[in-house]
Amino acid sequence: MIILTLNCGSSSVKYQVYDWANKDVLGSGVVERVGQSQSDLEYKSKGKDELVAKRPCPTHKEAIAWVMESILDPTYGCITDINQVTAVGHRIVHGGSVFTQSVEITDEVLAQFKKVEPLAPLHNPANIMGVEAARALLPKVTHCAILDTAWHQTMPDTAFMYALPHAWYDKHQVRRYGFHGSSFLYTSKRAALLLGKPANQTNLVICHIGNGASACAVKNGVSVDTSMGMTPLEGLVMGSRSGDIDPAIMPYMAREAGMSIDQLDAALSKESGLLGITGRFTDRRDVEDGVAKGEADCILAQNMEIYRIKKYIGAYAAVVGPELDAIVFTAGVGEFGADIRAGALIGMEHLGIKVDLAKNKLAMTRNAETCISADDSKVKVFVIPTDEEIVMTEDTVAISNGTYKPHTEYRYIFEEASYVNKAREAGLPKDLTKRPGLDKIIAQPKK
């Protein structure tokens, strides 16, 4: 089986082609700046030169067509016939409260995704457009939705409900949903393997720290709380998102500064976080450079991010309880941000968390799962490179052949000790993007 996975962002399409029979990544790429006057494509197949190209992609429809063209390219592509693709996995950011697991996409399922578009106005429309374009180009294959929100559907109502008028929940679906589900699923299963415990007996606090960032409390192998809320805006300090704030700030600024709802929404999502504090940077490397130069705004930004992560680790350690097995860091900053990890963990010895600063400093490679806790730390601390694509791929395979079960009943290939990410073996970059910001950490790791 050849599986194509598509991750359509608001202005991008990330994709990967996977040979399931040989458990091998054949190629991966990204189309960026979709909707702008000129779009960029970067794509690399195993054993071939990288393809870098430009052309206009007014919508995701044109971008998906370009994706298909690249994987079939006689010089750069990884397959020779589009009919070799047997199934397509699509990342869907928001599934509302209807979907508790990955699902085959039918007309009825697609209609449900459209109903919850207002809950993720930046992400779901792009996700849906990608689905429609891919279904049009590949109408005879199975298309599957892998939902960010599905992982968190195990949260109890005490965690997912807000202390708001109940009618808002009944009529408008206002509740906590959580995101980064595929990343949390992957890293929780890998952490269980590293701990030598069954996944359903593993207790963790996972910190997915990238441009978007969230924390998740995992008890007995399932999500019981998470920092992102109804949208990806709540929780940790992020690249350009505010994270937690006093909600009264919004009506205050509307009155004091005459800001509209759309202006407030844009400010919280696109002009806040590290960018808001520094006025310049979303990239943690730029912030680190500023810290090294003694720049007060960068020092404040880094300290605020560290403090918020520390707060959530402490809160979720309390939620998980004394059986806490490990803290896990993942995603671009989680994997490469040694100073941020150290800052968040120092001083938590009273919770049984003791970081080894030398190990932490050395844990700067995307190719290795690393333990950075001290030998006498009661709670382990792991750095685990995430692999959301393999979750999307395997769910798609299982749905296609009728073997799919929820993650609580299903054993993934990456839960096996022998699992090796062949994308890394083959030298395929995990993220081909070169856009400014956090992604530079991934594309060009520090030496």
Catalytic residue among 19, 40, 148, 395: 148
Q: Cβ distance 380 to 327 under 8 Å?
A: yes
pLDDT at 87: 96
DSSP 49: P
Query: Which residues are bridge partners to 206 per DSSP?
Result: 216, 328
Residue 286 known to be catalytic: no
Classify burial at 436, counting beta carbons within 10 Å of its beta carbon; exposed 0-12, middle 13-18, buried 19 or more: exposed
> Fold match between 2-147+388-429 and 197-383?
yes
* 91 labeled part of a ligand binding site: yes
The C-alpha atoms of residue 9 and residue 27 are separated, in whole angstroms, by 19
User: Residue 14, annotated ligand binder?
Assistant: yes
Q: Is 165 exposed, middle or buried (0-12, 13-18, 19+ CB in 10 A)?
A: exposed
**208 annotated ligand-binding residue:** yes
pLDDT above 70 as % of the chain: 93
Token pair belonging to 326 = 């490990």
Domain boundaries along the sequence of the chain: 2-147+388-429, 197-383
Instruction: Compute the distance between CA of residue 329 and CA of residue 236 in angstroms, rounded to an integer.
Output: 14
283 SS3 class:
coil
In this predicted model, what pLDDT tens digit does every residue of 204-215 receive, in sequence order? 999 999 888 999
Q: What are the tens digits of pLDDT across the range 271-288?
A: 999 999 999 998 888 999
On whether 210 is known to bind a ligand per the annotation, the reply is yes
Q: Please report the sign of the dihedral spanned by the C-alpha atoms of residue 190, residue 191, residue 194, residue 195.
A: negative
Strand segments, DSSP code E, in 202-293 are 204-209, 213-219, 222-226
Give the model's confidence band at 421: pLDDT under 50 very low, under 70 low, under 90 confident, else very high.
low
Selection from 74, 37, 43 nearest residue 56 by Cα: 37
- Asked: is 2-147+388-429 a CATH 3.30.460.80 domain? The reply is no
Report the alpha-carbon distance of residue 149 to residue 366 in Å, rounded: 26
411 has binding-site annotation = no
pTM: 0.90
Q: Given 1.20.58.100, 3.60.110.10, 3.30.1490.100, 3.30.420.40, which CATH number is that of 197-383?
A: 3.30.420.40
Using the predicted structure, report yes or no on whether residue 432 has a pLDDT greater than 70.
Answer: no
Cα separation, 293 vs 280, whole angstroms: 15
Is 7 annotated in a binding site? The answer is yes
Quick: pLDDT tens for 364-375.
765 688 999 999
Whether residue 187 is predicted with pLDDT greater than 90 in this model: the reply is yes
Per-residue model confidence (pLDDT) at position 275 = 94
Measured between alpha carbons, how far is 329 from 177 in angstroms, rounded to an integer?
Answer: 21
- Rounded CA gap, 316 and 312, in Å? 6
